[in-house]
Chain A
């Protein structure tokens, strides 16, 4: 399966390599660099690159390319999914990995055996190799103890491999975040071309022992398509529409779901825009206004507007009614950090664009990408009914939070 792995940073340095079978020379990455050059942008590097003797499968995360070397036929998603699971530190950024090279190397060693995944649950991995913390480093130097788990990992052997044994907390808490994202394309005139809701329930469970939880919804029928963490008992869901599970310890994604595109999706914001280039003059007008639409009485916050301006735009002089804006004349990226929307006074950004003299006007107006957050609202109307715990005696603290965010939310102008 996976033969070797190379981590490559944005400047093209291979800063970590790991081989699970015989060593493959890092010169194999030259094929990757070639492809990278051809693609110009990191995003466009093809995930699968054939070379004379190997196949290179890569993913791009946190500005790092994870390049896996494959020798024989294997489902490409198998490798890609695995590369995305290498997620020991939460964020796999270059500095974090460089600071912990040895730990990462050990983790990789544990994750695959002969290129076949052995342990990919981060719970188990953390049991095998304890993540370094400042405190532990200090303690280690004093006591001489180590980062490697001194008990052997038992998680792999149990029927609930995702949960480590012997979990103890003084405060027993279970938090669930229902987070929904709206993906939408809005056309020029403000009507919705496509809109759908994707949601996840992320959990942070810190409970002692082996709790068995059930979570039920007021309106489970909203969920059109769901995918579960392996801990969820599928049969129970099929028959009763109840989520029943023994949770992993700590943070995990319990469920992701899709609310059918055929349902009506409330669009919480509107964008009014007036962007015009004139053929003769080297000035263009630019004005956008963002306002609330169907917000169910909640405030829209964390609004940012970004837009990739056409190449012909040299500079923009704009005045926002609130927030701050920047325009990068090199990448032609306009971004406007709006903040909260006050329904009485919809924020607005207005001004002129200076265009390249003599060049013809761009034939397309830029697309506006929108980010926003609405607290305490799941836009689909999904509601958790109750959470019960069995199997343990104590009373846990339970919390549930709702949030709606913009996913890929685009307004065409």
Chain B
């Protein structure tokens, strides 16, 4: 600190400042009570003196007291002049406290705050990076509009600082300046653009935060930094990770095509065809992905995966939502385990995570079904957690687990937390409507609850029963009679109203009771709740119409009572009903239809999850939690139909690519060839992508001529076309090898003609026709002129980039064999949980063992790995387009404890709906049992669905044969379990093993294999 500034402070700050300070006091706290005010003044006087003193300790003491005041929310603004003088104090602690004070009050005392600016400006040039950083931090936190130019300058300089820490602070300062003066936006965007290029992990999170705040729509700034951000992500600090992941999710949704439809289909088909050729181990290799997924898309999905292991719940949730929104549906399964882990955390985290799971579980039950028990309610859970868990249990309920769940619900109904008990009853109602098999059971259960002691429980049951009965227009006279009796005892208005409504609706089914109920109600009309009164009126009207002989007088009596009721709703209703039902000279045409109006068939209410409509919000956001669009919520766009040019993410300059063009001639030819053979392949292997195929074809056709110019990437439409080309081209390389392998050239050719026809349909222009004919020719390797150099070029750029950065992509033309293996490697299976596969009877054995020899440790270990290998159950050829695969998820079966669980994935490869898929006749050897999956009503074309079933193989490898039926056909299929799928992996010490072995010697003599002893 120079003596200059000190003297300056002394002179101008000292004298004047006190005056100013007093002014400020009088303006800011004029309302203080007199006595209090004076004492405050006195106290502050003493603080001022301390601040003026020469001793640091006194100053420090004063500052601490002042900051203490701030922390407690007391006003300390009048001390501003006295405090600001110390901004250049040599004592770090005093300085820090002064900074704290400044940041808090500068906004209120702008003129005085300016006095401190020069200190910060000097500090911005300090050789120590930490001092520079903290100066920038405080300077930018002083919200004084006059210094905007100074801040701007400081930010610009700091953004070029050598220290990443200073640059990080610059990124933070950007947001502060933007909120102070939004007009600086353009300049700030420039700084953001510069900082986005920064390679430091320290800066990344902060600058993306600034990006999100200042210019979230400038997605173009991200292109060049996309791959870098993906690669840095793991090393960025956790808070930055959250921000970056959310931003990249949005980015991915604008830049890549949807991996959801064609994607999943194609993958499955590939598995289907090549699985037998492929080595299992190669399959687990994650590097190469399906069909047309952009490698950049894959890069993001792959690089975020390790973050599921983060200790930070926000990071885990961010990755989970990323997977949910942008990964292929088959891969999203891995997030469920991590989300369930978060449920161990504190109640706030649980609350948010459960909400998100609730939304997910509506759309994809299968994801959380294996974790059903994690959502069981504990009596110590707070009510909000309980109800959320209940919600999820309801979503997960299906025919297979409903009996377990209902048993669990029974416990909940008896809970002391009556609010929760009521919620459970509603849940039972929802289960009853969703799962037809248990409707009657639930109804009976609910009727039993009607005799419960607790009124809330009874009331809720009445309401739910009412809804259920409304859904089933069958005779339920008995229940209605029972409920009519309840009217004497129950007092909860909603329940009373529900009963009355029910009786009114069914008044013809209970002709004797209804008038009697009305009689009773007429007596108590005046003392009823409004809700009940309205229903009494309704009941009266309905009875009047159906049974006027008995109830005419009663109804008129009630209408008279209603006429003079205090509530205008009831008076209105009375008037309305009277006009409608009582015939008089004034009544219009309507009264003729009175009966139709009152006793119309009413649609049953839908019992839906409150989370049903939440999925249009991005998961993990505040808006999703509140189910309201929060300020500043950024919509997640829909996938683009056609992916924008991926080459924009290439970091190399275009010139570099040009140089490569001649050298890559051979390659170019190859790729051209590949492109076509790819289109053949696509047409041939699955009709699925025909739409997109023809689209891309026509696109490229239209672009054909201009495409010759090559790399003019300015034109946006061309951008997109060349993007398409290079995409499919890249893929074609892989596809081509497949074609070659299968020696299906001839076939390919004919297929390409098909493809061409398809193209023609969608095309209009001549040029495109020319183009399509060139496609036909090109099956003999000729390089097509229109197939745009731009395409191959852009691809080459990509290739070069890939080679250099080793981002896991593989050069296209080399290493054919290697590529092959990678290529057909299926994506990890959807619900692969590393859980032991054990046939439950073995489990029981083991449990017994464990109990008897409590000293030894036999621990069941999780399976080393769950093979992703699927077995073909029904080939799509023999299944007339319906393909089925099964695999063993190695989890205990939820259907019965003796069963092995099996997951069956059904694919519809036809272009028509397949309806009513179910299991027909079973031919099981004696002892074998199976639990079939629920019939599937319909499977959309290209649709795929995974169902689980359980088979009890009796610990044998007998084959279970059964028929898989659709609406029209039946296909015989069978499942034979490999021995390994019936075993239980255990880990035990050698000693224990010997001991166990000794115990089982008799069995050994009989030379029977005993699985439990298998040592690891």
Residues of chain A having any CB pair with chain B under 8 Å: 1, 14-19, 21-23, 26, 41, 43-44, 46-48, 50, 55, 58-61, 70-78, 80-84, 101-102, 104-106, 109, 113-114, 116-118, 120, 144, 146-148, 150, 152-153, 156-157, 161, 183, 185, 193-194, 196, 198, 219, 221-230, 234, 238, 253, 256, 258, 260-264, 266, 294-297, 308, 310-311, 360, 362-364, 366-367, 369, 380-381, 408, 410, 412
The verdict on B436 contacting chain A, using a C-beta distance below 8 Å, is no
The verdict on B93 contacting chain A, using a C-beta distance below 8 Å, is yes
The verdict on B341 contacting chain A, using a C-beta distance below 8 Å, is yes
Contacts A75-B242, A75-B622, A363-B414 given; does A225 touch B91 at CB 8 Å:
no
Name 13 extra pairs, CB < 8 A, besides A44-B382, A60-B348: A22-B143, A47-B352, A81-B349, A104-B71, A114-B175, A148-B92, A224-B862, A225-B337, A227-B309, A227-B341, A294-B850, A410-B379, A412-B411
Contacts A77-B620, A109-B100, A410-B379 given; does A227 touch B72 at CB 8 Å:
no
Distance A144 CA – B59 CA, assembled complex (angstroms): 12
Task: Report yes or no: B862 in contact with A310, Cβ–Cβ below 8 A.
Answer: no
Task: Report yes or no: A18 in contact with B238, Cβ–Cβ below 8 A.
Answer: no
Which 9 residue pairs across A and B have the least CB separation, nearest first? A72-B632, A381-B859, A364-B414, A146-B93, A43-B382, A194-B373, A262-B835, A152-B130, A77-B314
The verdict on B403 contacting chain A, using a C-beta distance below 8 Å, is no
Distance A151 CA – B373 CA, assembled complex (angstroms): 52
The verdict on B598 contacting chain A, using a C-beta distance below 8 Å, is no
Task: Report yes or no: A363 in contact with B452, Cβ–Cβ below 8 A.
Answer: yes
Task: Report yes or no: A113 in contact with B379, Cβ–Cβ below 8 A.
Answer: no
Instruction: Tell me the minimal C-beta distance from A28 to chain B in angstroms.
Output: 12
Contacts A48-B626, A229-B311 given; does A105 touch B67 at CB 8 Å:
yes
Task: Report yes or no: A264 in contact with B847, Cβ–Cβ below 8 A.
Answer: yes
Distance A223 CA – B96 CA, assembled complex (angstroms): 46
Contacts A22-B143, A221-B862, A360-B453 given; does A81 touch B622 at CB 8 Å:
no
Contacts A221-B862, A367-B379 given; does A106 touch B96 at CB 8 Å:
yes
Task: Report yes or no: B374 in contact with A261, Cβ–Cβ below 8 A.
Answer: yes
Checking B72, B234, B834, B892 against A101 with a beta-carbon cut-off of 8 angstroms, the contacting residue is B72
Please give, as numbers and ranges, the residues of chain A lying within 8 Å of B847 by CB-CB distance.
264
Contacts A74-B622, A77-B620, A364-B414 given; does A221 touch B864 at CB 8 Å:
yes
Task: Report yes or no: B861 in contact with A150, Cβ–Cβ below 8 A.
Answer: no
Task: Report yes or no: A21 in contact with B179, Cβ–Cβ below 8 A.
Answer: yes
Distance A74 CA – B176 CA, assembled complex (angstroms): 17
Distance A167 CA – B56 CA, assembled complex (angstroms): 30
Task: Report yes or no: A264 in contact with B862, Cβ–Cβ below 8 A.
Answer: no
Please give, as numbers and ranges, the residues of chain A lying within 8 Å of B538 by CB-CB distance.
none
Chain B: CB-nearest residue to A185: B376
Task: Report yes or no: B351 in contact with A78, Cβ–Cβ below 8 A.
Answer: no
Distance A226 CA – B833 CA, assembled complex (angstroms): 14
Most buried by A among B382, B843, B891: B382
Instruction: Tell me the minimal C-beta distance from A237 to chain B in angstroms.
Output: 8
Please give, as numbers and ranges, the residues of chain B lying within 8 Å of A362 by CB-CB distance.
416
Within 8 A of A (CB), among B332-390: 337-338, 341, 344, 346-349, 351-353, 371, 373-374, 376, 378-380, 382-384
The verdict on B191 contacting chain A, using a C-beta distance below 8 Å, is no
Distance A77 CA – B623 CA, assembled complex (angstroms): 12
Q: Can you list 10 pairs linking A and B with CB atoms under 8 Å apart?
A: A16-B72, A48-B352, A72-B630, A116-B209, A185-B378, A228-B311, A262-B835, A294-B850, A369-B379, A410-B380
Distance A147 CA – B165 CA, assembled complex (angstroms): 23
Chain A: CB-nearest residue to B235: A159
Please give, as numbers and ranges, the residues of chain A lying within 8 Å of B314 by CB-CB distance.
75, 77-78, 80-81
Distance A59 CA – B352 CA, assembled complex (angstroms): 12
Checking A147, A219, A364 against B861 with a beta-carbon cut-off of 8 angstroms, the contacting residue is A219
Distance A154 CA – B667 CA, assembled complex (angstroms): 52
Chain A: CB-nearest residue to B131: A152
Task: Report yes or no: B107 in contact with A71, Cβ–Cβ below 8 A.
Answer: no
Instruction: Tell me the minimal C-beta distance from B401 to chain A in angstroms.
Output: 13
Task: Report yes or no: B242 in contact with A364, Cβ–Cβ below 8 A.
Answer: no
Distance A17 CA – B621 CA, assembled complex (angstroms): 26
Please give, as numbers and ranges, the residues of chain A lying within 8 Å of B378 by CB-CB distance.
185, 408, 410
Please give, as numbers and ranges, the residues of chain A lying within 8 Å of B311 by CB-CB distance.
227-230, 253, 256
Please give, as numbers and ranges, the residues of chain B lying within 8 Å of A144 by CB-CB distance.
56-57
The verdict on B854 contacting chain A, using a C-beta distance below 8 Å, is yes
The verdict on B141 contacting chain A, using a C-beta distance below 8 Å, is yes
Most buried by A among B57, B128, B237, B833: B237
Contacts A75-B318, A408-B378 given; does A50 touch B628 at CB 8 Å:
yes
Distance A50 CA – B104 CA, assembled complex (angstroms): 26
The verdict on B857 contacting chain A, using a C-beta distance below 8 Å, is yes
Residues of chain B having any CB pair with chain A under 8 Å: 56-57, 60, 64, 67-68, 70-73, 91-93, 96-97, 100, 103-104, 107, 128-131, 137, 140-141, 143, 163-165, 169, 172, 175-176, 179, 202, 206, 209, 234, 237-239, 242, 246, 306, 309-314, 316-318, 337-338, 341, 344, 346-349, 351-353, 371, 373-374, 376, 378-380, 382-384, 408, 411, 414-416, 452-454, 620-623, 625-626, 628, 630-634, 833-836, 843, 846-847, 850-851, 854-855, 857, 859-862, 864, 891-892, 987
Instruction: Tell me the minimal C-beta distance from B958 to chain A in angstroms.
Output: 25
Please give, as numbers and ranges, the residues of chain B lying within 8 Å of A43 by CB-CB distance.
347, 382
Chain B: CB-nearest residue to A297: B855
Contacts A73-B622, A73-B631, A221-B864 given; does A363 touch B176 at CB 8 Å:
no
Distance A58 CA – B855 CA, assembled complex (angstroms): 47
Chain B: CB-nearest residue to A48: B625
Distance A284 CA – B92 CA, assembled complex (angstroms): 69
Task: Report yes or no: B862 in contact with A157, Cβ–Cβ below 8 A.
Answer: no
Please give, as numbers and ranges, the residues of chain B lying within 8 Å of A308 by CB-CB distance.
379, 416
Task: Report yes or no: B862 in contact with A260, Cβ–Cβ below 8 A.
Answer: yes
Chain B: CB-nearest residue to A253: B311
Distance A78 CA – B620 CA, assembled complex (angstroms): 9
Instruction: Tell me the minimal C-beta distance from A127 to chain B in angstroms.
Output: 11
Task: Report yes or no: A17 in contact with B176, Cβ–Cβ below 8 A.
Answer: no
Task: Report yes or no: B855 in contact with A148, Cβ–Cβ below 8 A.
Answer: no
Chain B: CB-nearest residue to A226: B309
Distance A65 CA – B836 CA, assembled complex (angstroms): 43
Chain B: CB-nearest residue to A58: B348
Task: Report yes or no: B64 in contact with A102, Cβ–Cβ below 8 A.
Answer: yes
Distance A370 CA – B376 CA, assembled complex (angstroms): 18
Chain B: CB-nearest residue to A409: B378
Chain A: CB-nearest residue to B988: A381
Task: Report yes or no: A73 in contact with B623, Cβ–Cβ below 8 A.
Answer: yes
Please give, as numbers and ranges, the residues of chain A lying within 8 Å of B371 by CB-CB distance.
261
Task: Report yes or no: B351 in contact with A47, Cβ–Cβ below 8 A.
Answer: yes
Please give, as numbers and ranges, the residues of chain A lying within 8 Å of B384 by CB-CB distance.
44, 46
Task: Report yes or no: B376 in contact with A194, Cβ–Cβ below 8 A.
Answer: yes
Please give, as numbers and ranges, the residues of chain A lying within 8 Å of B833 by CB-CB distance.
260, 262
Please give, as numbers and ranges, the residues of chain B lying within 8 Å of A59 by CB-CB distance.
346, 348
Please give, as numbers and ranges, the residues of chain B lying within 8 Å of A41 by CB-CB distance.
382
Instruction: Tell me the minimal C-beta distance from B900 to chain A in angstroms.
Output: 13
Instruction: Tell me the minimal C-beta distance from B185 to chain A in angstroms.
Output: 16
Task: Report yes or no: B411 in contact with A77, Cβ–Cβ below 8 A.
Answer: no
Distance A412 CA – B413 CA, assembled complex (angstroms): 13
Chain B: CB-nearest residue to A98: B72
Task: Report yes or no: A80 in contact with B349, Cβ–Cβ below 8 A.
Answer: yes
Task: Report yes or no: A311 in contact with B416, Cβ–Cβ below 8 A.
Answer: yes
Please give, as numbers and ranges, the residues of chain A lying within 8 Å of B854 by CB-CB distance.
294-297
Task: Report yes or no: A260 in contact with B834, Cβ–Cβ below 8 A.
Answer: yes
Most buried by B among A44, A47, A61, A116: A116
Distance A311 CA – B417 CA, assembled complex (angstroms): 11
Task: Report yes or no: B453 in contact with A73, Cβ–Cβ below 8 A.
Answer: no
Task: Report yes or no: B73 in contact with A116, Cβ–Cβ below 8 A.
Answer: no
Distance A106 CA – B378 CA, assembled complex (angstroms): 40
Please give, as numbers and ranges, the residues of chain A lying within 8 Å of B454 by CB-CB distance.
363
Most buried by A among B72, B239, B622, B634: B622
Task: Report yes or no: A16 in contact with B850, Cβ–Cβ below 8 A.
Answer: no
Chain A: CB-nearest residue to B379: A367
Chain B: CB-nearest residue to A254: B311
Task: Report yes or no: B64 in contact with A153, Cβ–Cβ below 8 A.
Answer: no
Instruction: Tell me the minimal C-beta distance from A305 to chain B in angstroms.
Output: 14
